[in-house]
Every structure is written in structure tokens, then in C-alpha cells.
Amino acid sequence: MKIRMCLMMMFALLAGKHHAAARTAFAPAINYPGAGGVSVVAADVNGDGKVDLICASFDQGTLTIYTNDASGGFAVASSLIVGYSLSWVTAADFNGDGKPDLIYAYRYANAVSVLTNGGTGNFVLASSQTVDVWPISVVAADVTGHGFMDLITANANNNSDTISVLTNDGKGGLLLSSNYNVGYFPTSVTAADVNGDGRMDLICARWDNHLLVFTNNGMGGFAVSSTPVVGANPVSVVAADVNGDGRMDLITANLWDNTLSVLTNDGSGGFTLAASPSVGVNPYSVAAADVNGDGRLDLISANDSDGTLTVLTNDGAGGFVIATNITVSSGPDSLVVADVDGDGRLDLISANIDHGISVVLNKSTFPPPGIPPKLTLSNSGKNLVVSWPSASAGWSLQQTPALNPSSWAPAGYSGYGIANDGTNKSLTIPASQGNQFFRLLHP
């Protein structure tokens, strides 16, 4: 297979765009009708290089696929009826074919299912697996180190409060590995290497104002290593390096005190509460992303009761300042960040419990680019790894299978996300994907 790399800087264009000081700005929300959504994910499901959106509806039992028109606009392509009480949807390449599959949880059926992607936006049910009672959150991560995406669910029921770990058999099937007791009503689960040993650990938010950090023992098992305290009733947790020290920090959205909790990592898997910024009313979801191109991760919350998204910019000294509150549709319960219009800026998308999805395009002015970063390609087994320095503020990776100016598209939405270890950002994809060209773009 031939892999080609292209690094394009376009200095004349950049010079003309950065006379003004950097600022954070977003366009008004565009609301797209559909069944009330409880979860949304971004992925290129039809292989056209554009970022599509998938929204799960609890009441309707549907996965609505919104395809991208290349300018950041969306239209409903299909609505898959999969079953009542959907609580979550995520996307990952589950069978290793280079296409994003869809994984969803049924709350009342106590099950997780995988839909494999045919490549043009058509999906086929590949596997289902029973988990513990009431799965309400799902994350895909390779927790066993075997090169395939495993699944972890948070199961919230007063009689059985657990997380379930389901391993991928390498053929697209699921095997229930273990259930781990969390003690009291888990609301969200995520995966990250919190202690720097190269293995994916698990972090679970618990309704009683705590997190549980489960460290990976390298043999397929997990043990609780810490239980940090956060704000009142956390319902969402994400892991991200918000202070730039190369360690994964934790951020929660706290439903009842209208705050986020930011916990910094001490390097060995311990956490300290560093900030508790206020946001809108009843935050249900939180995301971390650099929305203004200054190289620091900012925070965004989806606030259910006042129908807003709060954007907090990172001041570089451990604090977060509200940059804007954006009105979306009623009841935003889920949030994803993605470059839907391909301009190198990360946009905001919410799933709204009362009305489809909202898309908020990022119109921020980024700081002028510094020295152009070096883009590196290497092989790792059967995979291709594309990497560039983490310190490259404002630069984003794009790819195309052909050197056509109109075919460049944001990378990281084909079932493989972009990782950041504090030194380098990287995209790892199967080498079997054929010819690929890559570039770094600065708006």
C-alpha cells in the first residue's frame, strides 16, 4: 500500500486572516428537526469525507442519521428503528475495516448492540450482548490491549449499580468480561490512561458526588484506585489534559449545583479539585476542546433546563472564564464537538430532548500560526500512525484519498479518534485503507 503525506501551510491566506486579535465567537444555533435526542455522536458514516451526525431517541427508539452537505448543513438520511429506551450512541471501528460502526445501549432491555457499517451509510446488526441493569452510558476503548475496541457501560439501578466490561472477540462479537460494583447509581463512564502506564483505565461518575477511578491491571481486570469528590450530582465525566502537563485530568458536569468540576492529575492516578466554574442551569453533558485555537483545552457544557451551551475558555493558569452562552433548542442533554464544515475550527452539536439536534458553527478568530509543525508518518504493526507536536496551537489534521482541492476533510471521524499524549497528537488508522494524503490546516 502506498501512503502519501502532504503538508500545506498556505501562508498568504493565513497572513490575510490574522491581523485581528484572537477572539472566541460562534454563529447562532441551527436547529434540525427530529425525534427528541438523548445522545449524539459525530462520524463520517457514508465515506464521503464529511462529518455526519447520529442522534439516539429514547422515546422513539430510533437512530437518526443526519448527513453533511459539505458546508456544515445537515439533512436526515435515514432513521433506524432499533428499539425503545435508547440511552446512548457512540461510534467506533468495531470490526477493524476502517469504517465507523454504531454502538448503542437499550436502558430497559439491559443490552448493548453493534451495527456494522456497509460503507455508504447502511448498517447491519452484528451483535448484541446483555449487560447489567439499565445501561445509560457507553464508551468504546481498547482496554485489553489486543488492538480491538472493547465496550464499557455504566448501569444505573438502585439494586445493581455497576459498570460492565465487554471485550471484542476480534470478529465483531461481544463477550461479557466482568461487572464491577460502583456502590451507588453510576451516571457516566469514560476511559483514559490516568496513571501513565500505557493501559486504558476507567472513570465512572456516581450520583453521590464522587468519581470512581478504576485502574487497569494489564490482565483484563480493574480495581478502584481513588474516589475523588466532585460537585452535586455529576451526570457526565470526560478525561482531557486541561493544564498541558501531559496527564489526563477529569471534568464533570454537576446537575444540581450548576457547575463543572475540574480535577487535575498528580501523575500517578490521583486527582485534586482545581476549579469549579459555574455554567447554565442543570448541565447534563460536558466536552473539552480547543475552540479558539490558543492551544489550551476549553470546556463546553450542555445545560438542560435553560436550553443553552456554555463555552468556558482556558486562561492558562488553571481557571476557566465564560466566553459565551449559546441558546439552542429545548433540553440539550448531550454534546459533541466536531469540525462539521471543514474549516479547521471545532463546532458544537447538541442532542435536545424536546427537538432533534442543534448545530453551532465556530466563527472564532485564531491567533496567528507560529512555526509550521512537522507532520510525521510511521508504521505500527498493521496500522499507519500520523503524528505532529501537541504544542501546535490551532492546527488540525485533514486527509483525502485523492489530491483534489475539494476533497480535503477533517481527520478523526472514521472510527478512529485523534489522541494526545501531551507530546504528540496522533491518528492511528488501518494501513489497509489505501492511498491517503494528509495535511495540517490553520484557519
Q: Which residues are paired to 205 by β-bridges?
A: 188, 211
- Cβ atoms of residues 288 and 299 within 8 Å: yes
Strand 86-92 and strand 74-81: the pairing is unpaired
C-alpha cell at 276: 469549579
Cα–Cα–Cα angle for 59, 189, 429, nearest 5°?
100
C-alpha of 408 from chain center:
21
List of residues 6+ apart from 12 with CB closer than 8 A: none
So what's the pLDDT on residue 371? 85
- Cβ atoms of residues 193 and 201 within 8 Å: yes
Tens digit of each residue's pLDDT, the chain (443 residues): 344 444 443 332 333 333 345 689 999 999 999 888 999 999 999 999 999 999 999 999 999 999 999 777 999 999 999 989 999 999 999 998 889 999 999 999 999 999 999 988 899 999 999 999 999 999 999 999 988 999 999 999 877 799 999 999 988 789 888 999 998 999 999 999 999 999 999 999 999 999 999 999 998 899 999 999 999 999 999 999 999 999 999 999 999 999 999 999 998 879 999 999 999 999 999 999 999 999 999 999 999 999 999 999 999 998 999 999 999 999 999 999 999 999 999 999 999 998 899 999 999 999 988 888 999 999 888 888 999 999 889 999 999 888 776 778 899 998 889 998 889 999 998 887 678 899 999 99
C-alpha cell at 255: 446537575
Cα–Cα distance, 9 to 368 (Å, whole number) = 12
Assign 3-class secondary structure to the chain: CCCCCCCCCCHHHHHHHCCCCCECCECCCEEECCCCCCEEEEECCCCCCCCEEEEEECCCCEEEEEEECCCCCEEEEEEEECCCCEEEEEEECCCCCCCCEEEEEECCCCEEEEEEECCCCCEEEEEEEECCCCEEEEEEECCCCCCCCEEEEEECCCCCCEEEEEEECCCCCEEEEEEEECCCCEEEEEEECCCCCCCCEEEEEECCCEEEEEEECCCCCEEEEECCECCCCEEEEEEECCCCCCCCEEEEEECCCCEEEEEEECCCCCEEEEECCECCCCEEEEEEECCCCCCCCEEEEEECCCCEEEEEEECCCCCEEEEEEEECCCCEEEEEEECCCCCCCCEEEEEECCCCEEEECECCECCCCCCCCCCEEEEECCEEEEEEECCCCCCEEEEECCCCHHHCEECCCCCCCEEECCCEEEEEEEHHHCCCEEEEECC
Cα–Cα distance, 222 to 219 (Å, whole number) = 9
CATH numbers and ranges of domains, the chain:
30-360 (2.130.10.10), 376-441 (no CATH)
Using a 10 angstrom Cβ sphere, with 0-12 exposed, 13-18 middle and 19 or more buried, the burial of residue 171 is: exposed
- Cβ atoms of residues 100 and 92 within 8 Å: yes
So what's the pLDDT on residue 10? 37
CA distances from 63 to 39, 44, 82, 151, 233 (A): 10, 15, 7, 19, 28
Q: End-to-end alpha-carbon separation of the chain, Å?
A: 31
Cα–Cα distance, 316 to 308 (Å, whole number) = 25
Cell 510525521 found at: 376
- Cβ atoms of residues 149 and 188 within 8 Å: no
Strand 383-389 and strand 283-289: the pairing is unpaired
Cell 481527520 found at: 411
List of residues 6+ apart from 408 with CB closer than 8 A: 49, 342, 398, 399, 400, 439, 441
So what's the pLDDT on residue 21? 55
C-alpha of 41 from chain center:
8
Cα–Cα distance, 346 to 26 (Å, whole number) = 10
Residue type, 26: F
Cα–Cα distance, 58 to 107 (Å, whole number) = 9
